[in-house]
Amino acid sequence: MANTTVIALNNVTKLFGKVTGVKDISLTVQKGEIFGFLGPNGSGKTTTIRLLLDLLRPDNGTIEVFGKPLNKNSLEIRHKCGYLPGNFNAYGNLTGLQFLGFLNHFRKDSQPAIDDLRGRLGITEYDLKRKIKYLSHGTAQKLGIMQAFWRYPQLLILDEPTIGLDPLMQNVFYELLNEYQERGITIFLSSHNLSEVERICHKVAIIRKGEIIKTELISNLKKMLNRKLFLTLKHPLEFLELQNTKFIRKQGLKFEFEFSGSVEALLSQLSDLPVADVVLPEPDLQEIFMNYYNGKSEQ
């Protein structure tokens, strides 16, 4: 499938008086991607999402969604989107059924397939008949997921979607994401949950203090980052030096290095040594994130 750009932000800046929400951010999201937008609270994630939905207007820069300028095609574009806001909060005096019916009336869609989502998310008929203000946080979040997903939108925009969900329900949510992606639906997911982003996203943008500091495939980020190398020898060596490594520490016959470069070249070097054990763990997203967020890596 040829790449089709669904989201394009070009040098977007949003100011709140003297406070910068986001500064000169640019990113593109292709059709069918699960794109992770990663950063801690207050970094500009939610501001970016509100700009994408035309709930806020940029002070500088342009935004296109589905290849069209957002500011001139706002209603048409939003009709194709499903949105789950952070800290989802619906009309508390409506029941779940009343709320879903209210949304469906304004969307003017055919009756969406509620039952499948309701069953998979573990929402009971009793839950839907209760006023939303009496629902637990987890159940209210599942209602929010249902209203975002039920129409098979072309673009899903999700802001911290798994807050309040237990681990089993998180797995159900991840399964839904994969199924929707297989349908060609594009997913833009904001999160500060590193393990979640690593598990489900293919590409990630890291935002810090309103500025995007890196956009890359997660697999490429792992290749760029220096890795740890743990080496155990069978017997002592008078001298041990490995190319493309930095010595960290030694305890007896156990060595720790920081390694960059070709794994094949490293294994070639190790083949001539009395190696008892070697461990070269894959860096996880936590390590990658901290490297970029602490300014240890260049763009």
Q: Specify the amino acid at residue 253.
A: L
Question: Encoding tokens for residue 242?
Answer: 């490995």
Most confident of 7-11, 212-216, 231-235: 7-11
CA atoms in the 13 A half-sphere facing the CB of 17: 1
How far apart CA 128 and CA 121 sit, in angstroms, is 12
Enter the DSSP assignment of 281: P
How far apart CA 230 and CA 281 sit, in angstroms, is 9
Please give the average per-residue pLDDT across 257-285, as a whole number: 81
Pair 248, 258: CB distance under 8 Å: yes
Backbone angles phi, psi at 12, to 5 degrees: -85, 130
pLDDT digits (tens, 9 = 90+) for 204-221: 998 988 999 888 887 777
Residues 6+ apart with CB under 8 A from 89: 140
How far apart CA 137 and CA 150 sit, in angstroms, is 20
Question: Encoding tokens for residue 98?
Answer: 């009343």
110 pLDDT band, cuts 50/70/90, is low
Domains 5-222 and 226-282 agree in fold: no
pLDDT, residue 1, reads: 44
Numbers of helices and strands, H then E, in the chain: 11, 14
The secondary structure of 201-250 as a DSSP string is: -SEEEEEETTEEEEEEEHHHHHHHS-EEEEEEESS--S----TTEEEEEE
Pair 66, 38: CB distance under 8 Å: no
CATH class of the domain whose range is 5-222 = alpha beta
Pair 4, 30: CB distance under 8 Å: yes
Enter the DSSP assignment of 290: H
pLDDT digits (tens, 9 = 90+) for 48-66: 999 999 999 999 999 999 9
The residue written with tokens 């690593």 in the block is 198
What pTM did the predictor assign?
0.78
At 17, is the secondary structure helix, strand, or coil?
coil
For the domain spanning 226-282, the CATH number is 3.30.70
Residue-range domain boundaries for the chain? 5-222, 226-282
Average pLDDT, the chain: 87
Please give the average per-residue pLDDT across 245-264, as a whole number: 85
Question: Encoding tokens for residue 37?
Answer: 């937008």
**CB neighbours (10 Å) of residue 13?**
17
* Bridge pairing between strands 60-65 and 254-259: unpaired
